[in-house]
Structure 1
Amino acid sequence: MPTRTCVGCREQAPKADLLRVVVVEGECVPDPRGRLPGRGAHLHPRTECLTLALRRRAFPRAFRVQGPLDTEGLQAFLGEQLQRDST
């Protein structure tokens, strides 16, 4: 199985265990099915990894773009997914 590196914690994990994220018009968009076009970054679906990625400014570097990216949609998606998994 292919492995990828989480942009938050920098640990390698199987691709199936990570959430793929792409940029669409300056916004980080979750791509759980892995079908959206463009360069992808991978992230563990945990708030700790997202916090680390935001603190390190890992998304602009991973996507090779200048300036900040909107991550509100990604944060909301992870929050919903974590609530759903905990019930």
Structure 2
Amino acid sequence: MDAVRTCVGCRTRAPRPSLIRVVLRDLELVIDERKSAPGRGAWLHPTRECAENALKRRAFGRALRVSGVLDTQNLEKWLNGYGNQVNGSK
């Protein structure tokens, strides 16, 4: 039985393997590919809609317990690449 986590974008619960883990490194949001980096993590469906909802609601700051502006470029770049992999594009 897989562990269940809550997506910070849509606030629905889902099995851990279906979500990506986002961690903070020097105020930059980074995808934790192995889902084992130390520290707090925020869980997110790998969709643009959930990422945009989380950014709009400032959910990453609350989930990771930080205040201030977070750098989201790495997260956006990863999501753009992930969308191309899913759609079969290069």
TM-score (norm 2): 0.94
CA distance in 1, matches of 2:14, 2:49: 16
Q: Percent identity?
A: 49
Q: How many pairs does the alignment contain?
A: 87
Q: Where do 5+ consecutive residues of structure 1 fail to align?
A: none
CA drift at 1:32: 2.0
Cα displacement (A) at 1:38 = 1.1
* Mapping of residues 1-87 of structure 1, within 5 Å: 1-87=2-88
Tell me the C-alpha RMSD between the 2 structures.
0.7
The 2-side partners of 1:36 and 1:7 are apart by 18
**Which aligned runs of 4 or more in structure 1 are off by greater than 4 angstroms?**
none
CA distance in 2 between partners of 1:25 and 1:52 (Å): 23
Shift of 1:40: 0.4
C-alpha offsets along residues 29-61 of structure 1, whole Å, 9 cap, x if unaligned? 001211211100000000000000011000111
